Structure 1
Amino acid sequence: MDASRLTAGKAAAVFDAYGTLFDVHAAVQAHAAAVGPDAPRLSEVWRNKQLEYSWITSLMGRYRSFWSMTEEALDYALAQHPGVDRGLRGQLLDSYRDLAAYPEVPGTLRRLRALGLKTAILSNGNAAMLERAVAAAGLGDHLDAVLSVDAAGVFKTAPAAYAIVLDSLGVAREAVLFCSSNRWDIAGAAAFGFSTAWVNRRGLPDEYADLPPDAVIGSLDPLA
């Protein structure tokens, strides 16, 4: 489907937060000189472990805050890179709390609302960390709702996580366009019944062939 037609007949555009609206690698990039040559790999391990912990916890039928997993994932990444000064831990976490939004995000959200769509975040992030990230990026005025999986007590890709959107925004699932940079998240949203746009910022190969996105875009610009 043409990305420009994705919003036709939709009542809401819902976005994953980390990696989609906010640059998850900006925290390490902000301290790249101090981190040293291991900076890119440290950032990748940090992100991958953060997600792994959420999936494993969900499979065990348990739940705890995404922020605690973010801290523990950084500890693992630092342990795997002993050449990086562990004294940077606090600065890296502070930078993660205040991640930069991608440049096109505010304008896209503004234009979508001008088209009459509700705009919202649905994130694995817990409420406190989302509130701070949205405020730091200045996105509050462009969003109708900031939704955390806290409300379901389970992380995406559990169906109960996506159902939060329907309960909170009062829309039918076929009226939702869900956008994420995470292909696994797109698969989960598609399985739930949302229309989807995969924001493939890094040009990654496709996967989950049985649950394809309705569109693949390199940024949010084509949406509105």
Structure 2
Amino acid sequence: MPLPAPLDRADAVVFDAYGTLLDVHSAVQRHAGAVGPEAQGLSDTWRQKQLEYSWVLALAGRYAPFWTLTERALDFALAKHPKVDPGVRADLLEAYKALDAYEEVPATLRHLRGAGLKTAILSNGDTAMLDAAVTAADLGGLLDAVLSVDPAGTFKTAPAAYDLAPARLGVARERIVFLSSNRWDIAGAAAYGFTPVWVNRTGQPDEYPDLAPVRVIRSLDGLLA
């Protein structure tokens, strides 16, 4: 059966990891009883600051491993939510190394590989945390490459970060479909020349009208529809 657009014009499909393949809120959810009623607020703050720190460093021409930013973001989140017992910090960080994959992820990756497409992750995550996450989610055998921005020394949306995918996969950028749940990442991918598909899992309003995705889907199942 022919693949639907834009897969019919692709040689590779590259995924963001955190929020796209892996549920970034599953770490706090796993310890929701210990965190208490501010669990969702804590998780939202943690994620917001983790991303904010990466943007600020990239714009300032600086870099630190994403795991370091993850730790700093959690420390901020705990300080902002003082009713949460800071003793949960170690458990939350350990859980972040083994986030849950979204339910449809393995089947989608198997289908893409079965259709002859290369599959890869391109993530702000550093190599160690990505290796741990992919192993915990049992996705390693379904990916041709797991790419950290580490070698670029910067974070997405810097073009140098996106450069890593075509270089490693040996595929021209215009033949790569790129998926992310982060609209800012989709904007960066569009500017770079990937074919971007926005996985809008939470029904967010659109933005960046000049850097639009070619498709919007609610989960990875929609990619194959």
Q: Same fold (TM over 0.5)?
A: yes
Question: Residues 30-85 of structure 1: CA distance to partner in whole angstroms, max 9, x if unpaired?
Answer: 11111111000000000000000000011111111000000000000000011000
Alignment partner, residue 102 of structure 2: 102
Q: Match for residue 189 of structure 2? A: 189
SS of residue paired to 1:119: strand
| Alignment length (residue pairs) | 222
Q: Map 1:1-224; keep pairs closer than 5 Å.
A: 4-224=4-224
Distance 1:13 1:134 in 2: 17
Distance 1:156 1:137 in 2: 23
Name the SS for the 2:119 alignment partner: strand
Is the partner of 2:13 in helix, strand or coil? strand
The amino acid that maps onto 2:84 is V
Deviation at 1:5, TM superposition (A): 1.4
Structure 1-normalised TM-score?
Answer: 0.98
Equivalent position SS for 1:212: coil
Q: Secondary structure at the match of 1:34?
A: helix
Using the alignment, how far apart are the partners of 1:198 and 1:223 within structure 2? 10
Whichever residue aligns with residue 175 of structure 1, its letter is R
Residue 161 of structure 1: how far off its partner (Å): 0.5
Structure 2 unmatched runs, 5+ = none
Q: Which runs of 4 or more aligned residues in structure 1 lie more than 2 Å from their structure 2 counterparts after TM superposition?
A: none
SS at match of 2:7: coil
Q: Do the aligned residues in 2 keep the contact of 1:28 with 1:92 (CA within 8 Å)?
A: yes
Preserved contact between residue 4 and residue 222 of structure 1 (Cα < 8 Å): no
| 1:182-203 deviations in Å (ceiling 9; x for gaps) | 0000000000001011000000
Query: Which structure 1 residue ranges, 5 or more long, are not aligned?
Result: none
Distance of 1:40 and 1:169 partners within structure 2: 37
Secondary structure of the residue aligned to 1:4 is: coil
